[in-house]
Every structure is written in C-alpha cells, then in structure tokens.
Amino acid sequence: MTSLHNIKGKDAVRAFANAGGMVRPGKGDHVNIKMLGGHLITIPISGEVKIGLLKAAIKKAGLSEEEFEKLL
C-alpha cells in the first residue's frame, strides 16, 4: 500500500477523472471535478495536495483510499 503523502495536484485530478469525474476549471490554480454522484471536489493543481484535503476529497468522491491509489 502506498502512502497518500506527496501526491501532486495534477496526479490527484487525473485519478478522480479516471474514476468518472468531469474536470472543469476553477479559480486560480484550482480545478473542480464533478463526480458521478453529483459531488463537487476542488483540488489545487499546483504543488502537492495536503493529506487532509486529499482524504476528504476521496471520501466525498465515494472511493476508498485503496481504490484511489489504484487510479493514480
């Protein structure tokens, strides 16, 4: 099992898109991802995503951490 630390924003956005999310531009360096369940996730595209934000986004997307890691 890999760690959720040190995951870049671009990689996280790609993983949520692979899970069926629709990527749309947000404000500044953020991207909005509308998931199939209707939930909207906002991720900063530049730099690394903080662990708390990433875990909350994974939960909101209806994925387990293991499922998310497979999508990376």
Predicted local distance difference test score (pLDDT) of residue 3: 80
Domain ranges for the chain: 9-71
- Reduced to 3 states (helix: H, G, I; strand: E, B; else coil), residue 21 is coil
Q: pLDDT, tens digit, for every residue of 15-70? A: 999 999 999 999 999 999 999 989 999 999 999 999 999 999 999 999 999 999 99
Q: Domain spanning 9-71: which superfamily? A: Hypothetical protein. (3.30.920.30)
Predicted local distance difference test score (pLDDT) of residue 2: 58
CA distances from 66 to 4, 25, 29, 32 (A): 10, 27, 27, 22
72: tokens are 């990376």
Q: Is the pLDDT of residue 71 over 70?
A: yes
Q: Is the pLDDT of residue 1 over 60?
A: no
CB distance 44 to 54 below 8 Å? no
- CB-count burial class (<10 Å; 0-12, 13-18, 19+) for 1: exposed
